[in-house]
Amino acid sequence: MMRHVQKRLLLVLKFSLAFAVIGYLLWVNRHLVMHTAKFFVDDIYRSCVYQRRNYELEEKSSPLYVTKERHGRLGNWLFGYSSLLGIAKANGYIPYFLRSHPLNNHFQLSKIRSYPAECLFDVYDEQPCSYTPEMMNLPTGNISIDGYIQSWKYFRFIENELRQELKVHPHMAQYAKKLFNEYVGHHVAAGRLVISIHVRRGDVLKPEARKLGFCHAPKEYFDNAMNYMLKLFPYSVFLVTSDDISWCRENIQPPVLRDVLSSAKLSKIKSDNPKIKSSIFDETVPIVFSKSHSSWDDFSLLMLCNHSILSVGTFGWWGAWFARGHVVYYDGFPLPGSKVDYETDKEDFFPSDWVALSVSASVQSWHLLWLVFLCAMWNALLFCKVS
């Protein structure tokens, strides 16, 4: 009886193992499996495979197209369109977004088609925030890229062209200027530079987002970033946009200039700008919070600022790209060891002249001191053991 049960158990174990192995192999080769299945089941797909093969064999006279599946929101779409243009250029393909793509509602995109190209084959980008060199050398055929392709390296060599291409619809641009003026016009008139602070919280605070590796930037980071910016641009105003503006009102408080800068620096500012009253050095630096309920309005404000402080996400990233000033981003994202961390290569995601900051420099130097202390202890211990 006992042996019988044992035998059965073993059999079940063997079957489960076999299933697991087969399942794993199917998953790893899922794109190939899908391709093969489609080839046998779908007549149109099969004829496309032949069409592509003929194209490769024949003179390759007609152009090839490349497009991208729609994922995410505004920041993701801007990455998608921009990377697509770079990838198309590198491959000699014609890029397009469908006319129905929502990015058209804000920008006057010129690479547009009303219908998809024929015989699109999927190419997958498995690393949303990393540069995949294979994209610059796509297989032959009409291609639809599935994934996020979010790296500035895909479009660094077409930047000027891209800035010409990504033009906001004129009536929206006009409205944005009006809005910007309402918020900070009098500060700009007084000669202040406008430094944006974009604070993303909402969705990245959710436990499931945290599990993936998303996080939000803490108050101390914004303190640090504001001080950093004020050392470079002391005569400024901060303009805050966020999906959680009430948190910002409570937590983002600019410093008094006299606490940030040396008195030598302050007198230099005074002599460079004789019109400035010294009293402003003892007042907190002005800050303006967006009251807008539209994320597009907030985005248009970010585009018009002189310099940018980011938290996390692609929305602020693109606001800063359009603003073209100094950029500070939060170094604590993504959470180390997480899925998003694995999918992100910071060097590919953040342009090399953007500055990474985390919490305040003094907190950091405390950590460093601790490290030095621990190292010293460790060495002392080793030394004692040896001698």
Q: Which residue among 75, 128, 141, 319 contacts ligand NAG (CB under 6 A)?
A: 141
Stretch of 85-93, 115-123, 229-237, 313-321 lying at the interface with ligand NAG (CB under 6 A) = 115-123
Angle between helices 2-28 and 30-41 (to 10 degrees): 80
How far is Cα 156 from Cα 140, in angstroms, rounded to an integer? Answer: 24
How far is Cα 159 from Cα 157, in angstroms, rounded to an integer? Answer: 6
Coil/strand/helix, residue 357: strand
Using the minimum distance from each CB to ligand NAG, give the nearer residue, 65 or 315.
65
What x-and-dash track marks residues 253-292 binding ligand NAG by CB under 6 A? Answer: ----------------------------------------
Q: Which residue among 119, 204, 230, 260 contacts ligand NAG (CB under 6 A)?
A: 119
Q: Which residue among 87, 129, 194, 252 contacts ligand NAG (CB under 6 A)?
A: 194
What x-and-dash track marks residues 23-62 binding ligand NAG by CB under 6 A? Answer: ----------------------------xx--x------x
Q: Which residue among 127, 306, 308, 358 contacts ligand NAG (CB under 6 A)?
A: 306
How far is Cα 344 from Cα 150, in angstroms, rounded to an integer? Answer: 9
Using the minimum distance from each CB to ligand NAG, give the nearer residue, 145 or 312.
145
User: DSSP assignment, residue 358?
Assistant: -
Q: How far is the CB of 5 from ligand NAG (least distance, A)?
A: 59
Q: How many residues bind ligand NAG (CB under 6 A)?
A: 16
For residue 149, state whether it binds ligand NAG (rule: CB under 6 A). Answer: no
CA separation (Å) from 245 to 194, 291, 317? 18, 8, 19
For residue 91, state whether it binds ligand NAG (rule: CB under 6 A). Answer: no
For residue 142, state whether it binds ligand NAG (rule: CB under 6 A). Answer: yes
Coil/strand/helix, residue 261: coil
Q: In degrees rounded to 5, what are phi and psi of residue 63?
A: -75, 160
User: Side chain identity at 224, as an amino acid letter?
Assistant: N
Q: 246 is written with which tokens?
A: 């009430």
The residues, any chain, with a CB within 8 Å of residue 127's CB and separated by 6 or more, are 147, 343, 344, 345
For residue 304, state whether it binds ligand NAG (rule: CB under 6 A). Answer: yes
Reported as half-sphere exposure (CB side, CA atoms, 13 A), residue 185 has a value of: 8
How far is Cα 329 from Cα 309, in angstroms, rounded to an integer? Answer: 6
Using the minimum distance from each CB to ligand NAG, give the nearer residue, 100 or 362.
100
For residue 188, state whether it binds ligand NAG (rule: CB under 6 A). Answer: yes
Using the minimum distance from each CB to ligand NAG, give the nearer residue, 321 or 333.
321
Q: How far is the CB of 8 from ligand NAG (least distance, A)?
A: 54
Using the minimum distance from each CB to ligand NAG, give the nearer residue, 67 or 344.
67
Using the minimum distance from each CB to ligand NAG, give the nearer residue, 255 or 325.
325
Stretch of 102-110, 116-124, 336-344, 348-356 lying at the interface with ligand NAG (CB under 6 A) = 116-124
Burial of residue 336, with CB atoms counted within 10 A of its CB: 0-12 exposed, 13-18 middle, 19 or more buried = exposed
The residues, any chain, with a CB within 8 Å of residue 229's CB and separated by 6 or more, are 195, 236, 307, 309, 326, 328
Q: 135 is written with which tokens?
A: 């994209």
For residue 121, state whether it binds ligand NAG (rule: CB under 6 A). Answer: no
Q: Which residues contact ligand NAG (rule: CB under 6 A)? A: 51-52, 55, 62, 64-65, 117-119, 141-142, 188, 193-194, 304, 306
